[in-house]
């Protein structure tokens, strides 16, 4: 049995704002029967752009119903501008949290809200943008990317929990893995702007010179930079290091650690035997 | 709040007589049946009696009964034994609606290079016998087909299927976990080589099962260790639970008629009343031969987990084949194999009764379920009340 919070149970057993707003001027419909959950959100937006009334209809499990109920409660009285800022995590938080396998219910809520706002603005039903990645549940790469960004996802399993992508035949798992890697890559510390290769090599050389070489030479050893291929730093050991059995440990614990600290945490040091 | 338990295909209450029979083996009779002393040895005698009782229910010989820890262990043991004793044969035949104990093992074996054929079923959940016959080859090591389906209660013609396998020299195993105790089984004049039982499905406790292995069948143990079960399953006997299972089998024999008359009548009443009171629902496997206790009903346009949780508010216990209930994202593999449309599959509820259910309980469920369905349908964007039909069709 699912471990639902009291708040989820409350919204499920006594849903707020169930039904359809009769004179709705913003309608958002997302999900499908095949996918196992669907949400229709109807809003009445006044001339000032405030959400006067909001109602929902949900086909889905307890947490899907609770998420939709919570959403209507959250957006009623808000301006469209404020409502648009609501994320799926906000919906989950409003419910005191959702089991991770049920996070897609909160995503469905956010998607319905977006669809309703687009409908109000006369943007009509947008064609799904991006390429379908998960054929089973019709999830696109853009949807997956967004879920990864907004919820800081790192595994295929998490992506499935939030978007359903990959929850069927599993054929798209490799593609999802690639998308995660790409997004994660883009999101690497903004404090450290993307290094050009030349800059990177220069920084590696400087770090070796000022941070690494002195302590190695202290023990009669040395290290020489041979090449940099992507994030692989190829080095050759010299002097005492070349015959030292612990050289591999030194490479990892000293050389790599220093390069992580001063250049980039993605660098991997490899020893080249000549 | 009283509990109305209609989830007996998931697990059953331990019968009071069974509990009484097993309790002494936790305190006064805690000896190890393998011991040389009288204190332990006397337990060995009682185990023999339990073995005879299990054999009695199945029409088997006591020596053909191997006690295990559960139905899944029995299933795994049977299939792996068939593969180990027939090296060179690398084909397994099973069905698309098996319990995970067989289905998942089949998946693992397929990855290891075995050829696994899953025979499809029709819309009522009946096995495609033509496809089954065609699938049997010289290369086939074992057939494993369930006797009765846990989700729908649909019964496979295992005897006929076993004959077909036998005439081709192929071993036949059946997962009879849901069938034993609910319908008569007689292995005396049968072509079935191996059969699995789970104790907790027939009012014995969890943690005990049986693998029946026909005398003369080549066999390789799954769990090696001590000489227990004549070297066919290592590990000190779960004495209290084995005694319990013996008692449960004895009781099952006595209650067989009640199960197939009174319990069946209760199930039919439940089903008919719900079908009358609720529009747009159907019985999955209703057109096939079924267990007397099981009813799998699909309610269009709504989702099963929500139904279960609303029933739970009244203490009613049942199961669902919906995706959300299991934590997977797709509805039950059984309903999908039967081609049940999505509009129906997500809203499936399984009621499974036992001899302990009463007519009052059935009346209570019949009273509570229709308003629950109505409540959820009012919430559903797919439900069009004025039409009384589902907007998306089936």
Instruction: Report ipTM for this prediction.
Output: 0.87
CATH fold group of domain B4-9+255-390: 3.90.1150
Contacts from A8-14 at CB under 8 Å and sequence distance 24+? A8/A62, A8/A63, A8/A66, A8/A95, A8/A96, A8/A98, A9/A62, A9/A66, A10/A66, A11/A65, A11/A66, A11/A67, A11/A69, A11/A70, A11/A95, A12/A62, A12/A63, A12/A65, A12/A66, A12/A69, A12/B306, A12/B309, A13/B310, A13/B313
CATH fold group of domain B16-252: 3.40.640
Indicate whether B52 pLDDT > 60. yes
- Smallest Cβ–Cβ distance between A33 and the set B309, B379, B392 belongs to B392
- Smallest Cβ–Cβ distance between A33 and the set B304, B328, B342 belongs to B342
Hey, is the C-beta of A158 within 8 angstroms of any chain B C-beta? no
Indicate whether B391 pLDDT > 50. no
Q: How confident is the model at residue A264 (pLDDT cuts 50, 70, 90)?
A: confident
Find out whether A50 and A70 touch, Cβ atoms under 8 Å.
no
Distance separating alpha carbons of residues A58 and A76, to the nearest angstrom: 18
> Mean pLDDT of all residues in chain B?
95
> Where do the CATH 3.90.1010.10 domains begin and end in chain A?
1-126
CB contact under 8 A, A167 and B327: no
Find out whether B343 and B392 touch, Cβ atoms under 8 Å.
yes
Distance separating alpha carbons of residues A240 and A213, to the nearest angstrom: 13
| CATH number for the segment(s) A1-126 | 3.90.1010.10
The whole-angstrom distance between B109's CA and the closest CA on chain A is 18
CATH fold group of domain A197-271: GMP Synthetase; Chain A, domain 3 (3.30.300)
Distance separating alpha carbons of residues A224 and A237, to the nearest angstrom: 6
B160 closest CA partner among B125, B131, B197, B190: B190
- Which chain A residues are closer than 8 Å to B346 by Cβ? 33, 36, 59
Catalytic residues of A, which ones? 35, 105
Indicate whether B138 pLDDT > 60. yes
The whole-angstrom distance between B168's CA and the closest CA on chain A is 35
- Residues paired with B127 in a beta bridge: B121
Q: Which of A14, A36, A137, A167 to mutate to test the interface with B (most CBs of B within 10 A)?
A: A36
Hey, is the C-beta of B122 within 8 angstroms of any chain A C-beta? no
Q: Where are the domains of chain B?
A: 4-9+255-390, 16-252
Q: How many CB atoms lie within 10 A of CB B331?
A: 27
DSSP secondary structure, B164-222, as one string? HHHHTT-EEEEE-TTTBTTB----TT----EEEEEGGGTTSPSS-EEEEE-TT-----S
> Where do the CATH 3.30.300.130 domains begin and end in chain A?
197-271
The whole-angstrom distance between A91's CA and the closest CA on chain B is 19
DSSP secondary structure, A30-89, as one string? EEETTTTEEEEEEEEE-TTSBEEEEEEEEES-HHHHHHHHHHHHHHTT-BHHHHHT--HH
Hey, is the C-beta of A116 within 8 angstroms of any chain B C-beta? no
The predicted-structure confidence for B37-48, as pLDDT tens digits, reads as follows: 999 999 999 999
Q: Please tell me whether residue A263 adopts helix, strand or coil conformation.
A: coil
The predicted-structure confidence for B318-355, as pLDDT tens digits, reads as follows: 999 887 666 677 889 999 999 999 889 999 999 999 99
Query: Between β-strands B348-352 and B294-299, what pairing exists: parallel, antiparallel or unpaired?
Result: antiparallel
* CATH 3.40.250.10 is held by the domain A131-187: no
The predicted-structure confidence for A44-91, as pLDDT tens digits, reads as follows: 999 999 999 999 999 999 999 999 999 999 999 999 999 999 999 999
């Amino acid at each position: 049995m699912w471990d639902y919070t009291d708040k989820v149970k409350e919204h499920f057993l006594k849903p707020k704002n169930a039904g359809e707003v009769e004179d709705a001027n913003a309608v958002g419909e997302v999900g499908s029967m095949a996918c196992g959950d669907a949400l229709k959100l109807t809003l009445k937006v006044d001339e000032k752009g405030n959400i006067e009334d909001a109602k929902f209809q949900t086909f889905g499990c307890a947490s899907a119903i609770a998420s939709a109920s919570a959403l209507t409660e959250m957006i009623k009285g808000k301006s469209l501008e404020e409502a648009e800022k609501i994320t799926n995590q906000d919906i989950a938080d409003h419910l005191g949290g959702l089991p991770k396998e049920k996070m897609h219910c909160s995503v469905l809520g956010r998607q319905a809200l977006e669809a309703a706002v687009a409908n109000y603005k006369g943007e009509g039903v947008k064609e799904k943008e991006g390429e379908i990645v998960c054929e089973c549940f019709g999830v696109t790469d853009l949807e997956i990317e967004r879920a990864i960004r907004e919820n800081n996802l790192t595994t295929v399993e998490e992506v499935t929990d939030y978007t359903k992508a990959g929850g069927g035949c599993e054929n798209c798992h490799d593609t999802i893995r690639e998308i995660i890697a790409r997004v994660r890559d883009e999101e690497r510390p903004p404090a450290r702007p993307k290094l050009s290769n030349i800059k990177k090599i220069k920084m590696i050389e400087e770090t070796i010179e000022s941070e690494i070489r002195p302590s190695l030479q202290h023990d009669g050893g040395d290290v020489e930079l041979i090449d940099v291929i992507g994030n692989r730093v190829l080095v050759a050991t010299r002097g005492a290091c070349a015959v030292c059995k612990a050289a591999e440990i030194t490479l990892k614990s000293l050389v790599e650690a220093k390069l992580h600290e001063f250049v980039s945490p993605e660098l991997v040091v490899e020893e080249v035997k000549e | 709040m009283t509990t109305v338990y209609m989830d007996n295909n998931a697990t059953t209450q331990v019968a009071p007589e069974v509990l009484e029979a097993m309790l002494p083996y936790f305190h006064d009779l805690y000896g190890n049946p393998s011991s040389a002393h009288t204190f332990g040895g006397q337990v060995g005698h009682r185990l023999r009696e339990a073995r005879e009782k299990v054999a009695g229910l199945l029409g088997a010989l006591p020596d053909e009964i191997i006690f295990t820890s559960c139905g899944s262990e029995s299933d795994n043991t049977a299939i792996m034994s068939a593969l180990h004793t027939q090296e060179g044969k690398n084909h397994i035949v099973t069905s698309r609606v098996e319990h995970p104990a067989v289905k998942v093992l089949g998946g693992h074996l397929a990855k290891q290079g075995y050829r696994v054929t899953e025979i499809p079923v029709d819309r009522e959940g009946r096995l495609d016998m033509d496809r089954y016959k065609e699938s049997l080859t010289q290369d086939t090591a074992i057939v494993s087909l369930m006797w009765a389906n846990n989700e729908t209660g649909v019964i496979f013609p295992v005897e006929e299927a076993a004959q077909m396998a036998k005439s081709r020299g192929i071993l036949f195993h059946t997962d009879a976990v849901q069938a034993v105790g609910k319908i008569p089984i007689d292995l005396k004049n049968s072509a079935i080589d191996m059969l699995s039982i789970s104790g907790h499905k027939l009012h014995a406790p969890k943690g005990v099962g049986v693998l029946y292995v026909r005398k003369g069948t080549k066999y390789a143990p799954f769990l090696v260790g001590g000489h227990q079960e004549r070297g066919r399953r290592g590990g000190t006997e779960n004495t209290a639970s084995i005694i319990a299972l013996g008692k449960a089998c004895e009781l099952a024999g006595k209650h067989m008629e009640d199960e197939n008359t009174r319990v069946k009548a209760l199930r039919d009443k439940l089903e008919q009343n719900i079908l009358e009171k609720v529009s747009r629902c159907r019985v999955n496997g209703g057109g096939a031969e079924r267990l007397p206790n099981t009813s799998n009903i699909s309610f269009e346009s709504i989702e099963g987990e929500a139904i279960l949780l609303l029933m739970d508010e009244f203490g009613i216990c049942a199961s669902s084949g919906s995706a959300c209930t299991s934590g997977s994202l797709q509805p039950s593999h059984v309903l999908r194999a039967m081609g049940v449309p999505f509009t129906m599959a997500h809203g499936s509820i399984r009621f499974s009764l036992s001899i302990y259910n009463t007519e009052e309980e059935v009346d209570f469920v019949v009273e509570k379920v229709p308003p629950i369905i109505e409540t959820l349908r009012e919430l559903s964007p797919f439900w069009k009340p004025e039409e009384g039909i589902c907007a998306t069709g089936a």
